[in-house]
Structure 1
Amino acid sequence: MGKIVISENISLDGVIQDPTGEDGHERGGWFTRMGRTDREEWAKVELNEALGAEALLMGRRSYMWFVARGWPARTGAWADRLRSLPKYVVSSSDLDNPEWTNSTALTSEAVKEVATLKEQVDGEIIVYGSGQLAHTLMDHGLVDELRLMTCPVLVGAGERLFGPTRAVMPMRLVDTHTVGDGLALLTHQYARDAS
């Protein structure tokens, strides 16, 4: 049985939109304000997470973001690992000639297909970005863990990871540690026994 992990870069006030500033949001670029040590340590955490994953799951916009920034052709341990992983993309249309190897579109009933994927994959299924998909997965009780790389900044506007949900979702803090000089990685697991 797979374990769906939402892995997000997030501000203190819960914003996940445009962390790198490449999408043109008026307050974008907030995650890039970290120092060099923070960036290096963050990259190590990301590589370790990818090495522990069995698959990637993302929405079409996040998939296209990775493709547009050259991830299919990048080199290095992290890029090589992401390229080798199976990638499942929730999309209303098929991926015509996917540019990133091992990519499959989930096009019909996303919730049902993700539930089936969770049964088929043995290990972690990492969800990068994909705010709308993350909301849907949380609403349907498919998320097992949240890994929130928290940047010490208040953005004040933009899409947030947490919005209205269908029900209360009890979470249990299972790990926390500082990354670099200013980032905090908070790991919460869905406490199904508490719901």
Structure 2
Amino acid sequence: MRKVVAIENMTLDGYVDSQTGMGFEWTFRGYSEEVDAFGNQHVRADVDTTVYGRRTFEGMRGHWTQVPSNPDATPGELAHAEWVNNVDKIVFSTTIGDPEWANTRVIAADAAARVAELKAGDGGTLAIYASPKLVHWFTDNGLIDEFRIMVHPVTIGSGTPLFHDKAKLDLNLLESKTFDSGAAYVRYQVA
């Protein structure tokens, strides 16, 4: 059985989206080559399908499809662009017809049943990237198995929280790691 994990960057005060611009400009303070390498080599090592809500999907598609042709892209950005442009992707949306990004499927209806089918199928981990409103829906429907969270050394005061006010979960800590940049990684399993 496949598992669903939420892979999130989060502020110390619990927000994952500032609701400004792309929503995660605050991650730059705690971001480093060490954090990038850990994420690429460890956090997403078992992921073979990425999952997005519409807004995050459109932002990711707009950014990562352009990175390979950007002469200023770093080796880390190029490596991640290659991975994300080729990995299987799912976007939950009732408004996107043609996703216009390779290896992407759109789920527009019967979401809970479709997720149950995906979890029962063969393959690696299904990872929700960012997409906080989608994470809220998955949480409310008991569909998330793990949270993999990079906590950044910053507070922003408002935005979209990772856990909305109705979320009640018991979690078991599976792993933690701190970085020289001040970021801290925590991995929790839903009990």
Tell me which interval the TM-score lies in, with the shorter structure as reference length.
Answer: 0.7 to 0.9
Contact 2:50 2:88 in 1 (8 A): yes
RMSD: 1.9
Q: Identify if the C-alpha distance between structure 1 residues 50 and 99 changes in structure 2 by more than 3 Å, giving closer, same or farther.
A: farther
Aligned to 1:90: 92
Deviations 1:7-34 (A, max 9, x none): 1100111011148x634x7xx6322223
- 1:14-163 matched pairs, under 5 angstroms: 14-18=14-18, 22-23=21-22, 29-34=25-30, 38-48=31-41, 49-69=43-63, 71-75=64-68, 76-96=78-98, 98-163=99-164
Gaps of 5+ in 1: none
Distance (Å, rounded) in 2 between the aligned partners of 1:140 and 1:156:
28
Deviations 1:40-60 (A, max 9, x none): 112112212344211001101
Identity, in percent, stands at 30
Matched residue SS, 1:43: helix
Contact 1:17 1:159 in 2 (8 A): yes
Q: Which has the higher contact order (CA 8 A, sep 6+)?
A: 2
Instruction: Count matched residues.
Output: 181
Aligned to 1:172: 172
Which runs of structure 1 show a deviation greater than 3 angstroms over 4 or more consecutive aligned residues? none
TM-score (norm 1): 0.85
The letter for the 1-side match of 2:5 is V
Deviations 1:53-112 (A, max 9, x none): 11001101110011222x12433221111122110100013432x332100100112222
Matched residue SS, 1:186: strand
Distance (Å, rounded) in 2 between the aligned partners of 1:99 and 1:40:
30
Contact 1:171 1:189 in 2 (8 A): yes
Gaps of 5+ in 2: 69-77
